[in-house]
A and B are shown apart, each in its own frame.
Chain A
Amino acid sequence: MEQIRPKNYLVESILVTMCCCQPLGIVGIVFASQVNSRYNAGDYNGALQASKDAKKWIYWGFGIGLVFMLLLFAFYAAMFFLGINQGLFNEF
């Protein structure tokens, strides 16, 4: 019985690793690699499970990266308005 290959999320996990600076993306790559290995070995359910795991890790990595960046941005914005309130920019 020929099953379709589960989506392997390799490109997505490489992007999360490289662009969100997330070690979680590495875990995504491990699961993404397992999708193809298991599928080629005929283990369809295992491949499907690995695909789901890869997706989960990528979403978490992306989410955490995004939240971290937003928090950092909020931090700098807060510092900026604090500076305005204290008159740091008055001389310009």
Chain B
Amino acid sequence: MNFKYVGFVILAIALVLIYIFINPSEVDFLPKCPFYFTTGLYCPGCGSQRATHQLLNFNFKGVIAQNILFVVCIFILIYHITITVLNTYFKKNYFNYLNHAKTGWIVLIFILVFWISRNIPCYPFELLAPK
């Protein structure tokens, strides 16, 4: 057993506990988004910490309200880990669609459109902004 992995596990457990019991919208000391801090505009990741808090408390409506793209991001992560584990440890040969030539560009377009639209301060776009 490597000490590095023990450290990582302890750090992960500590982070999970922090985000379960502390609501980032009620306290000051958790890190703020550097982009929001400097420009006052929302970045594509704004609301991720609040969304993490809501996710760990199983409040899925809250996750969607804070950051819709965060949900997509989690699904991409789960997909990637599943495929990688299957291919590496179970000797399967599934094609990972994240390696497709168009995936990256589609993700890029989605993030840019999301970034712009959540900064528009009128009704249908306001729903995308973090609360």
Q: Are A33 and B76 in contact (CB under 8 A)?
A: no
Distance of A61 from chain B, by nearest CB (Å)? 10
Closest to A29 in B: B108
Contact residues of B: prevailing secondary structure: helix
Contacts of A8 in B (CB 8 A): 98-99, 104
Residues of A within 8 A of B36 (CB): 21
Q: Kindly specify which of B5-13, B26-34, B57-65, B85-93 makes contact with the partner chain.
A: B26-34
Assuming the contacts A18-B73, A19-B48, A23-B43, asked whether A10 and B104 have C-beta atoms less than 8 A apart, the reply is yes
Chain A residues bordering chain B, tally (CB within 8 A) = 33
CB of A85, distance to nearest CB on chain B (Å): 18
Tally of A-B Cβ pairs under 8 angstroms: 87
The distance in angstroms between the C-alpha atoms of A34 and B112, with both chains bound, is 17
- A17 in contact with B98 (CB, 8 Å): no
Whether the pair A72, B104 counts as a contact (CB closer than 8 A) is: no
**A21/B77 contact (C-beta < 8 A), A8-B99, A29-B111 known:** no
* Cβ–Cβ contact B43 & A76, under 8 A: no
Question: CB-nearest residue of chain B relative to A76?
Answer: B29
Which residues on the A side are within 8 Å of B101 (C-beta)?
A: 36-37, 39-40
Contact B104 A32 (CB under 8 A): yes
In-complex Cβ contact of A36 among B46, B69, B100, B112 (8 A) = B100
- Residues B99 and A14 in contact, CB atoms below 8 Å apart: no
- Check: B125 CB closer than 8 A to any chain A CB: no
- On chain A, the residues within 8 Å of B112 by CB distance are 26
14 additional A-B pairs beyond A8-B104, A23-B43, A73-B29, beta carbons within 8 Å, are A5-B99, A10-B107, A11-B76, A18-B67, A19-B48, A20-B45, A21-B34, A22-B35, A25-B45, A26-B111, A35-B104, A72-B31, A72-B32, A77-B29
Top-5 shortest CB links A-B: A33-B104, A69-B31, A21-B33, A18-B45, A21-B45
Q: List 5 A-B contacts (CB under 8 A).
A: A8-B98, A10-B104, A11-B77, A65-B34, A72-B32
